[in-house]
Amino acid sequence: MAYSRRRKEKLLSRWEFKRCSTRRMRIGSGAIRAAFAAAALAAKSDDKKLLCPIETLKPQKEQSDILLSRKVRAFLDYYGFSYEVVEVNPVTKAEIKFSKEYKKVPILSSNDGTFTDSVLIISKLATFLRNSERELSSIDGDYPMIEAVNDKNEFVKCYPQKYVVYPGRTQCSEEIAADREERQWREWVDGNFIHLISPNVYRSLGESLETFKWFSEFGDWDRMFTYSGRLLATYVGAFMMWLIAKRLKRRHNIDDERKAMAEAFNEWMNAIGPNREFMGGSAPNLADLGMYGAMTSFSGCSAFRELVIEGSPIERWYNKMRNAVNNHEGRRLLEKRTTLLSNDDATAVNIVCQRVPGTILVSPIQIC
């Protein structure tokens, strides 16, 4: 059939429009899936660990550690581990395909095996530091896994000893009491304080959008998404997390999210008391590092600026923790252990961490 020139141009224009529209739809659907996945993952992990989207809130110079649980990062920095973070695509997650059974993060991978869960990673590494005669592979056996039935009559895996750090020597009564307090407040951070973060940073549509714009700016989204996909993921994700935050608020019986977090800060500081600098006394313990890591996860949000007021007790504690972590003030324990090891005995581990997985190469021989 013969077509006039005008007819051909019209058909060609229509075909080009259809092709472009199809491409836009594919881009848009991918961005929507990414936004919904981020929102769903945030809601799911709120019950166990740090809120996943919060993990992307860091300056551009530290964008690679968006993948890392803030608690694990605080632990590694405080004790002076030297490590490298390798970014992983948040959509394909190809870099964690080596983990066949466990698909969550963080993941610690070493020559001695693979270890999961930020609490377990910290407890095992702390035990490793305090027991110079033991290898990481032998420490793994101190944290047995059991199966239990949850409220929904589902079988779940749990680790009853995951907050325990084994000292490697006989302790006096004061040390036993200090370890018991450390475990109590580590559990408090994970079981109470963490649940207050999402309702505060996604309190309103404006705050939720502010948070997701921060994700977009500092989370390297310009590399991972197209411009239109990034915009769609930002606005859809912000709207979804605003809705999810309302559900989390009801689930955890939170009436006033700002008041609840302020009360949590007061509870924490009252537990430290006027005669101690940290929960660990004159130096931070694992509870301090866990609380600090949780707070850094939303340190750029409006909730943090409103509640961590300059000159307040929690602000003074936070600043002291920041100095201790940034200056690697716990490195003496790592140095003490590594002086007993030759370079051939050094343990190198890879850690794949929070939300968008990443790889961290850690060598106890290299002291920052």
H helix or E strand, kind and range, residue 335: helix 331-338
According to the model, what pLDDT value does residue 287 have?
A: 98
Rounded to 10 deg, the angle between the 70-78 and 313-326 helix axes is 60
Largest Cα separation within the chain, whole Å, is 98
Residue 4 maps to a domain: no
**Which structural domain range is residue 173 located in?**
11-367
Residue 1 maps to a domain: no
Nearest to 283, CA basis, from 178, 364, 366, 192: 178
| Angle formed at CA 137 by CA 136 and CA 143, multiple of 5 degrees | 90
| Angle formed at CA 215 by CA 210 and CA 220, multiple of 5 degrees | 145
Whats the size of the chain, residue-wise?
368
Q: What is the rounded CA–CA span in Å between residue 357 and residue 295?
A: 20
| Residue 217: partners with Cβ closer than 8 Å, 6 or more residues away | 60
Nearest to 210, CA basis, from 235, 243, 193: 235
According to the model, what pLDDT value does residue 259 have?
A: 96
According to the model, what pLDDT value does residue 48 have?
A: 33
Residue 289 maps to a domain: yes
How, if at all, do strands 358-367 and 155-158 pair? unpaired
Q: Specify burial of residue 213 (Cβ count, 10 A radius: 0-12, 13-18, 19+).
A: middle
**Reduced to 3 states, what is the DSSP secondary structure of residue 86?**
strand
Residue 6 maps to a domain: no
Residue 3 maps to a domain: no
What CATH number does the domain containing 99 carry? Answer: 1.20.1050.10
Strand partners, 108: 115, 351
**Reduced to 3 states, what is the DSSP secondary structure of residue 192?**
coil
| pTM, entire model | 0.74
What is the number of domains present in the chain?
1
H helix or E strand, kind and range, residue 360: strand 358-367
Nearest to 249, CA basis, from 198, 302, 303: 198
pLDDT along the chain (368 residues), means of 10: 56 49 42 46 36 28 41 90 60 66 67 78 92 84 87 85 90 92 96 92 90 72 75 84 89 92 97 96 97 89 92 97 96 78 44 38 32
Residue 2 maps to a domain: no
